[in-house]
Structures are given as C-alpha cells and as structure tokens.
Amino acid sequence: MGFQIAPMIDVVFVILVFFMSLTATVKIEAELNTKLPGSASSSAPVNFPDEQTISIELNGQVLLNDDPIDAPNDTALPRLTNALLRLKQNADAAKTTLLVTISSAPKAPYARTIDVLNALAAAAVDNVTFTVDESF
C-alpha cells in the first residue's frame, strides 16, 4: 500500500469546481445595484411621540403606566384626568405628540372604557389607540 494520488486529485477537482461556481455568483451579486443602509442626514428634527399606556383590569381598576390610579368604582376618575392634563401640557410645551394606548382586559366592563375616554376628552387628548391585553 502506497500513497494513493487518485483520491487526492478528485478532492482537488471538487474544490476547484466549488470555487469556480462561487466566483460566478459573486459576479452576479456585484451586478445588483443595491445600496446598504447607512447614516442618513435629515434637515428637520425628528419628533418622537410621548406614549402613555392606560390599562383596564377585570375588576375595573385603571392603571396609568402600570401604576394604579383612582378607585375601581370611581366613574369620574379625577386623578387620571389631572395626570392626563399634566401630560398633555408637558407634551404641548415640548412640542411633541401625546399618544395614549388603552389596553383593556378582554372581559373588562365597557363602561370603564367609556370612563377612561371621558377622562381623555376632558384632558383634550385626541391621539388614542386601543388594544386588548390577552394576559388577563
């Protein structure tokens, strides 16, 4: 048994064919006129919205950014209204948009959502989105 050169030549030819086919694809990719993302300059400043979340639990408890606010049976929601007024004033002073997302439990009372919408209307907040929280 000596050194077998035939399998070695076969491997070299397979590697040669692999690299030849690879160079053909590199040329095709080079011909695509695509631009990669980079830094873009903007003449106007980008304003990010001031986003707040209001959650409504099954028992009617209202949470502003995960902090309980007002009693579950209080329909007026005075603390929520005052907090929303302050947030609206701060957003107006900073010239940003106040965006409020209402996240409600699927079986939360609809009247509680109306109470929250009344508080938003009293604070003149008009950018409101809704979502249903499935984790309840």
Q: What is the pLDDT of residue 24?
A: 67
Count of the separate structural domains present in the chain: 1
Q: Does 26 reside within a domain?
A: no
- Both tokens assigned to 124: 């003149």
Q: What is the pLDDT of residue 117?
A: 92
Q: Which domain holds residue 54?
A: 50-132
Q: What is the pLDDT of residue 1?
A: 63
Beta carbons of 75 and 114 less than 8 angstroms apart: no
Give me the residues of the chain with pLDDT under 50, please.
none
Q: What is the pLDDT of residue 37?
A: 74
Q: Does 126 reside within a domain?
A: yes
Closest by CA position to 125, among listed 47, 48, 52, 46: 52
Q: Does 68 reside within a domain?
A: yes
Q: Does 55 reside within a domain?
A: yes
98 φ, ψ (degrees, to nearest 5): -90, 120
CATH number of the domain encompassing residue 125:
3.30.420
Q: Does 14 reside within a domain?
A: no
Q: Does 77 reside within a domain?
A: yes
Q: Does 67 reside within a domain?
A: yes
Is pTM beyond 0.75? Reply is no
Q: Does 102 reside within a domain?
A: yes
